[in-house]
Amino acid sequence: MNIRFEGAGVTYGARVALHPLTLELTESRIGIIGLNGSGKTTFARLVNGLTKPTAGSVCVNGRYTADEKAVLTDVGFIFQSPQNQIILPIVRDDIAFGLKSRGFSKAEIEARVESVLQRFSATHLADRRAHELSGGELQIAALCSVLATGPEILILDEPTNQLDLRNRGLVQNLIDSLPESAIVVTHDLDLVATYPRVLVFHEARLVADEPAAAAIRRYREIVG
């Protein structure tokens, strides 16, 4: 993974969503923490082109996010409410949908669907309806749909939000086991407590860029 922010920032009229910053990300696990409205989600959305910089540029694995389609092949995004990105009612069909839109053959789609379901021990979810799934199962279904397309980098926005203790542990173990690089946006400090690099955002600025222990200490100073 190689992500470069080159003086990249975002403004909406007079409002600054993220002050310009320059940095490079290469670690396989990166945490993003900060209060609501601090700029952390804007930062994450810049990585995969969902948000375009109004100043500077962002480059992911040698591709600038101005070419959103190219970047999306490298970066998958799991939204804070995974049910909002599951389009079709049946889990198996939803996983296949993303592959069809990328032009895979029928045989390749079937193979990829089965492979990703087996990878997450989720074959029992294949024919379930999304609205019947628990919070943890929804996260697994969303992971399957995104990872079936083969991104190198995965961004997860509040992946343990509103999960009970059992499902939180399940999702954390899944994230920890991913061979893909992961950028995790979260208020759940335990989720990123072992990460080699954690970014802290406050009032639309990057205020700390440290290993987990130091970054979390800085965040706690901010929240008081």
H or E segment and range at residue 6: strand 3-12
Beta bridge partners of 208: 200
pLDDT at 165: 87
Q: What is the 3-state secondary structure (H, E, C) of 12-42?
A: ECCEEEEEEEEEEECCCEEEEEECCCCCHHH
pLDDT at 151: 93
From start to end of 27-174, where are the E strands? 29-34, 55-60, 63-64, 75-78, 153-157
Phi, psi for residue 32 in degrees, rounded to 5: -125, 115
Question: Is the separation of the CB atoms in 208 and 215 below 8 Å?
Answer: yes
Q: Is 74 strand, coil or helix?
A: coil
pLDDT at 6: 98
pLDDT at 135: 86
Pairwise CA distance, residues 36 & 17, whole Å: 12
Q: Which of 144, 110, 10 is nearest to 65 (CA)?
A: 10
pLDDT at 117: 95
Ordered per-residue pLDDT tens for the chain, 224 residues: 999 999 999 999 999 999 999 999 999 999 999 999 999 999 999 999 999 999 999 999 999 998 767 787 899 999 888 888 888 999 999 999 989 888 889 999 999 999 999 998 899 999 999 889 988 899 899 999 999 999 999 999 999 987 888 888 888 998 999 999 999 999 999 999 999 999 999 999 999 999 999 999 999 999 98
pLDDT at 33: 98
